[in-house]
Amino acid sequence: MKLRVALAQINPTVGDLVGNAALITKYTNDAVSASADVIVFPEMVLTGYPVEDLAMRVSFRSASKKALAQLVTALDPAIVSVVGYLDESPNGAPQNRVAVIYGSNVVATYTKRHLPNYGVFDEFRNFVPGDSSLVVRVKGVDIGIAICEDIWHSLADLAARKPGVVLVPNGSPYERNKDDVRLALVQKRAREVGAPLAYVNMIGGQDDLVFDGDTIVVDAQGTVISRAAQFEDQLLVVDIEAGTQSSQPDVVISESGTEAAGTIAPVIAQRLSDDQEIWNALVMGLRDYVAKNKFRSVVVGLSGGIDSALVAAIAVDALGAKCVNGVAMPSKYSSDHSVEDATALAASTGIHFRTVAIEPMVQSFMQSVTLKGVAAENIQARVRGTTLMGISNQEGHLVLATGNKSELAVGYSTLYGDAVGGFAPIKDIYKTDVWALARWRNEQAISRGESAPIPVRSIEKEPSAELRPDQKDSDSLPEYELLDQLLIRYVDGDEGSAALIAAGFDSALVMRVIGLVDKAEYKRRQYPPGTKVSARAFGKDRRLPMTSRWSEA
């Protein structure tokens, strides 16, 4: 039997029950137009995902249930819709559930059975797991359902029921290289169950997470039948050849039916390159933080350096140059090329640009308070932060913080100075990747016949905070090529000093860097959110005490 399945790779918004319901209705209508038998939406699409502790509010659960009840009557009764939402167990505990909707009724539900409680996930905190599988018969095809984390565990019990096809709604955040992991997993589960498997994931940004879609359909042997483009809205419609009457279904919607006319040519979107993938993640993460929080524009301090240049370029791709405001804030320690390179960036991207010299404000502080050394350096950064926040308050732009992961790791930033902002687009990008992405973005532009957005000198100059005469990052930090290699292992890999030294790093360097990372936890705690692209981002992915005497250094 050819079952026509529509997979809605869409961008819901947390808490926007009305907007998400409208999106679900629209895509369901599109699926009906495409003669689909079934449409599957991502995990908790009706509430958005993750809802975090909103799950524990009785009022929010009631609203979700009410929104589902309204949606049921709004959806075309002829198609089977699989819609994720927030519901409750019989004793009133929150559950992560999908409703199978048909004929203006909820004909069955399935509750997520495996709750991730690691990394960025707190689902054991927020939900109570389900305890049973579900098989629903549609046109004779027995459809099994699993939700996201469920497929990271064995589906043996579902396999034993011999479904003809498995549908998997997901809320699976983007990480570098995760698409490869996902594909292998989807293939493994299809083979375990012995049936085609259709995996649908959402797209969009939600605070520090971004969802990349990467919706996949494989046959029972794990061969890819169809795969959606990453980071794009898409209704992926697939004809799946599936066995019939293979199981003992819990619910029968239809014992048989006519196959949809015609054949959908299967689409297998090309994978993005690693750089493009990360770029799209950063662009979507920023765009959605801005849009979903109802900002229209951003402001970023431009130092002439690579970090702020890259952030501005991401913002231009996310929002358009007209919505991006650059501010150069030179001090007496700023090199000539600082303002020149900031000006060049503004010219090449077309963003709004202004210059505010900070010397008068810095001097007024220096005259009122005794400030020397680091205290004097920090004043400059904080005057810049206050200037940006003033412009933000006056004009309504969201301030972007420009710190990268290397700086955040070792605490090479000034609290309430360069660390101010509502969002920090590159906080999960190590400095060496900042350079690589900048080069890549320029090459992309050139290959498309556009002018490169990022001034070459910003990429090539030696990094400096320019808070004192002739200061260089390398005065206080090792070269970034070396530092980043160490940080990847210590921060992302949780390797201890012994392992790092065994891997060939100089022991004094290891001790120094580890000490810096450990001591900077309090700064990271007050840093703005930013898009996670690594397997271990700073933030809820890595929860360490600020007060800790533990040190391997």
By annotation, the residues acting in catalysis are 43, 112, 148
- The minimum distance between CB 361 and a second copy, in angstroms, equals 4
Q: Binding to a second copy by residue 53, rule CB under 8 A?
A: yes
Nearer to a second copy, 2 or 489 (CB): 489
- The minimum distance between CB 227 and a second copy, in angstroms, equals 28
Nearer to a second copy, 142 or 541 (CB): 541
- The minimum distance between CB 324 and a second copy, in angstroms, equals 18
Site residues for a second copy, window 289-348 (CB under 8 A)? 289, 292-293
Of the listed pieces 192-200, 205-213, 306-314, 501-509, which binds a second copy according to CB under 8 A?
205-213
Instruction: Give the residue, chosen from 181, 347, 498, 502, that forms a contact with a second copy under the rule CB under 8 A.
Output: 498
* Contact by Cβ (8 Å): 183, 162: no
The number of residues that bind a second copy (CB under 8 A) is 87
Q: Binding to a second copy by residue 548, rule CB under 8 A?
A: yes
Q: Binding to a second copy by residue 507, rule CB under 8 A?
A: no
Nearer to a second copy, 15 or 103 (CB): 15
Site residues for a second copy, window 347-376 (CB under 8 A)? 356-358, 360-361, 363-365, 367-372, 374-375
Q: Binding to a second copy by residue 58, rule CB under 8 A?
A: yes
Q: Cα separations (Å) of 272 from 3, 177, 299, 425?
A: 29, 11, 29, 20
**Of 105, 116, 160, the residue nearest 135 (C-alpha):** 160
Alpha-carbon gap, residue 338 to 330, rounded angstroms: 7
Question: Side chain identity at 165, as an amino acid letter?
Answer: V
Alpha-carbon gap, residue 462 to 478, rounded angstroms: 13
Q: How many CB atoms lie within 10 A of CB 499?
A: 15
Nearer to a second copy, 448 or 549 (CB): 549
Which residues are registered as beta bridge partners of 39? Answer: 6, 81
Q: Binding to a second copy by residue 152, rule CB under 8 A?
A: no
Q: Are strands 135-138 and 141-145 parallel, antiparallel or unpaired?
A: antiparallel
Draw the binding track, 516-535, toward a second copy (x: CB under 8 A; -: no contact).
------x--xxxxx------
Site residues for a second copy, window 457-496 (CB under 8 A)? 494-496
Nearer to a second copy, 377 or 473 (CB): 377
* Contact by Cβ (8 Å): 12, 48: yes
Q: Cα separations (Å) of 326 from 154, 237, 329, 508?
A: 51, 43, 10, 40
- The minimum distance between CB 548 and a second copy, in angstroms, equals 4
Of the listed pieces 21-29, 58-66, 89-97, 238-246, which binds a second copy according to CB under 8 A?
58-66
Q: Binding to a second copy by residue 544, rule CB under 8 A?
A: yes
Biggest alpha carbon–alpha carbon distance for the chain: 85
Nearer to a second copy, 142 or 208 (CB): 208
Nearer to a second copy, 369 or 456 (CB): 369
Measured in degrees and rounded to the nearest 5, phi and psi for residue 329 equal -130, 70
Instruction: Give the residue, chosen from 24, 51, 236, 302, that forms a contact with a second copy under the rule CB under 8 A.
Output: 51
Site residues for a second copy, window 388-417 (CB under 8 A)? 389-391, 393-394, 415-416
Instruction: Give the residue, chosen from 387, 432, 458, 534, that forms a contact with a second copy under the rule CB under 8 A.
Output: 387
Q: How many CB atoms lie within 10 A of CB 72?
A: 19
- The minimum distance between CB 377 and a second copy, in angstroms, equals 9
Alpha-carbon gap, residue 167 to 27, rounded angstroms: 17
Q: Binding to a second copy by residue 259, rule CB under 8 A?
A: no
- The minimum distance between CB 502 and a second copy, in angstroms, equals 12
Q: Residue 235: which H helix or E strand, with range?
A: strand 234-241
Site residues for a second copy, window 87-126 (CB under 8 A)? 117-118, 122, 124-125
- The minimum distance between CB 220 and a second copy, in angstroms, equals 33
The set of residues, in sequence order, having a beta carbon less than 8 Å from that of 502 and lying 6+ positions away, is none
Give the DSSP letter string of 174-230.
Answer: --TTHHHHHHHHHHHHHHHHTS-EEEEE-EEEETTEEEEB--EEE-TT--EEEEPPB
Q: Binding to a second copy by residue 243, rule CB under 8 A?
A: no
The set of residues, in sequence order, having a beta carbon less than 8 Å from that of 425 and lying 6+ positions away, is 282, 285, 286, 311, 314, 315, 400, 530, 531
The number of CA neighbours under 13 Å toward the Cβ of 418 is: 24
- The minimum distance between CB 445 and a second copy, in angstroms, equals 30
